[in-house]
């Protein structure tokens, strides 16, 4: 029961982290017009942050089932 509550708290923390990652101040840092391997820097940041959030949530949920 305690692990389930802890997993819920961690998911709320992941949500808040996502809100910060996709908010204006951080997005404006990567909107410089540069490229990373031919991909605009802003698009690369959004994709990496999105994939990182999905991986974090999967890790939290999989850790709950132990």
What residues are paired with 35 via a beta bridge?
40
- Say how many domains are in the chain: 1
Could you tell me the residue range of the domain that residue 44 belongs to? 2-6+14-64
Tell me the per-residue pLDDT of 6-27, one tens digit each, with 9 for 90 and over: 889 999 999 999 999 999 999 9
The whole-number pLDDT of residue 65 equals 62
pLDDT in tens, 17-66: 999 999 999 999 999 999 999 999 999 999 999 999 999 999 999 986 65
User: Which token pair is 14?
Assistant: 């992941």
- In 4-45, DSSP assigns E strands to 35-36, 39-40
Query: Is pLDDT of 1 > 80?
Result: no
H or E segment to which residue 38 belongs = none
């Amino acid at each position: 029961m305690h692990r389930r509550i802890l997993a819920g708290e961690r998911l709320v923390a992941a949500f808040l982290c996502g809100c910060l990652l996709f908010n204006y101040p951080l997005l404006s840092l990567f909107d410089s017009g540069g490229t990373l391997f031919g991909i605009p820097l802003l698009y690369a940041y959004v994709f990496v942050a999105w994939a990182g959030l999905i991986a974090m949530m999967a890790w939290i949920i999989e850790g709950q089932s132990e």
